[in-house]
Amino acid sequence: MTLRTAIKSTLARNRFLVLTISVAFFATMIVTGLVTFVILTSSPNLVNSLQNWLQSNAGYVAIPPPYTSGLYELIFLNNIGHFWNPIRLWVWIPLIGAFDLGYELLFNAVIIGAVASFVSLTKGALYTAAGLLPHGVIEIPAFILEFTALARWHVTTTRALHAKLSGQRVDRPRLREGIGDTVTLSLMSVTLFAIAAYIETFVTPHLLGR
Amino acid sequence: MLERIEALIRRRTETDRRMSYIWMIIPILPLAAGIAIVSGFVGILVSTIPRISNITQGNAQSILTPIFGGLLALYGLAVIVFFGVLFLGAVSFYYMIDRRNRHFSRQQLLFSTLHQYLASKVPQSESVTQLGFLAEDSSHQESPRPAGLWALLFMFVNLIIGLILSYCLTQDLHKHDELQSKFQAALPPALAEAGYGQPNLPAYKPRGGDPVLFLILSAITGGLFWVYWYYTLLRDYNAHFADQARFEDQLLGILAPPHVTKPCGTCGGAVPNGAKFCPNCGKAYTA
């Protein structure tokens, strides 16, 4: 089986998962963006307060400068290693971990929606588009594929455990296929994260004039 | 025995309750209320920030009263929505389990009566024996669930019970569909051996989806997928009842001799002789 066929068949098998996670993510992001926009436009003082607060706290965050491999590594490793962080490893526990993933998905969607709205109001829509879109069009699909891989992991392991605990035979071909899909989707997500991190480090700062 | 079969089929108007999609308010209302409450809360906080720095002993009451009033109103709204959803959710789940129980129980009786009727005509037939096994399977596997107890549990435990119930109802329909399709596959040869015509049954579509997949997706989308899951619970049971009604009408058309029923002029369903209204569509009988 060629790489192209493997990717196509994995995506075809998991399209319902991809679709559901995308809809949940984008719906939450859009609703949050709209709510934030309404709140911020109705209170101009808040925008100034938030800007002042961000400026006064920016010095405490040690982010490497743009165009450096340090920034690339920070973004890339932060994205791919998110669920390998020891305090988040429990997201891999079948079924139970899925509830934490729900929180992670919605939290990220809320943050992106709110930040996009805030930046649009303070710096303009064009600046937001230049800052978010070039890497976002690759990073968000990578993020969705990462969640799809985890969802596939949970479905596969929960089914197997359920069969085992209820005294039925575990469907081994289905189990192998599920684990194979998890690995393939994870690798696809890592590849996209690598590209997105490169764009965010070396292209986006240029577009933003930094 | 044929009258009993007919009576069981006619009883479907009481047992196969189609639930309206207005019940979609159960998963949608908490979402809409959640967005409204969070927006309101953030709005109050935002309006508070510039006023807090101007507080003095003299104006504290006039500044703080509307803030606490707003927070209290939001809290009241949250409580009303929370208990409203709990109550309506409990009622909707009661209806869902109740219609499942009634439908399954009627179908078990129908399967068993059909088997007895065909066995009285061709006792040695293998297909009729197969129908008997399926009727027994149905009685053993599809026991009723306590609707009242589940509804009460939903009132007190809410989220987890909602997911467990959705899981059970989806799985039940899936298994029920499998049994139904086996029964429909075994029925035509049995009818042929008993000297009846062949029903022209459409291929049975399994419904219900994969409950494990739905459960994981509900968790991974922070409960958003449950909106769709709840919709499928309403849709799939309604569609199953509609399919079942078509199957039963055909069956009755094959089994019932002309003196027992006549076709309804409006819907084509079986109308008992002497009846003034059609038991299927409820319209006045027209030839």
Tell me the domain boundaries of chain A: 3-207
Tally the residues of chain A. Answer: 210
Contact A154 B216 (CB under 8 A): yes
- Burial label for B35, CB within 10 Å (0-12, 13-18, 19+), is middle
For residue B281, being part of any structural domain is answered with no
For residue B119, being part of any structural domain is answered with yes
Contact A158 B225 (CB under 8 A): no
Q: Which residues contact A12 (CB under 8 A, 6 or more apart)?
A: none
Instruction: Output b/e per residue, B59-97; b: 16+ Cβ within 10 A.
Output: eeeeeeeeeeebeeebeeebeebeeebbeebbebbbebb
Interface test with A, best of B168, B221, B227, B231 (most A CBs within 10 A): B221
Question: How many structural domains is chain B composed of?
Answer: 1
Interface test with B, best of A35, A48, A118 (most B CBs within 10 A): A35
Chain B contacts of A105, Cβ < 8 Å? 220-222
**pLDDT for the residue numbered B159:** 76
Quick check: A105 contacting B, CB < 8 Å? yes
Distance, in Å, from the CA atom of B123 to the CA atom of B105, rounded to the nearest integer, reads: 25
- Amino acid type, A134: P
Interface test with A, best of B213, B220, B228 (most A CBs within 10 A): B220
Question: Which tops the pLDDT comparison, A66 or A82?
Answer: A66
CB atoms within 10 A of CB A145: 26
**A166-206: pLDDT as tens digits:** 898 999 999 999 999 999 999 999 999 999 999 999 999 99
Quick check: A89 contacting B, CB < 8 Å? no
Rounded to the nearest 5°, which phi and psi values hold at A85?
-60, 130
Q: Smallest Cβ distance to B212: which of A17, A39, A162? A: A162
**A132-169: pLDDT as tens digits:** 899 999 999 999 999 999 999 999 999 999 999 989 89
Report the complex ipTM. Answer: 0.86
Mean pLDDT of chain B: 86
Q: State the smallest CA–CA distance between residue B218 and chain A in angstroms.
A: 8
Give residue B222's domain range.
22-260
**pLDDT for the residue numbered B258:** 54
**pLDDT for the residue numbered B257:** 61
**B224-249: pLDDT as tens digits:** 999 999 999 999 999 999 888 888 88
For residue B7, being part of any structural domain is answered with no
**pLDDT for the residue numbered A43:** 76
Quick check: A84 contacting B, CB < 8 Å? no
For residue B200, being part of any structural domain is answered with yes
**B39-97: pLDDT as tens digits:** 888 888 877 777 777 777 777 788 788 888 889 999 998 899 888 888 999 999 999 99
- SS3 call for A87: helix
Quick check: A102 contacting B, CB < 8 Å? yes
**Contact predicate A36/A114, CB 8 Å:** yes
Report the DSSP beta bridge partners of residue B284.
Answer: B277
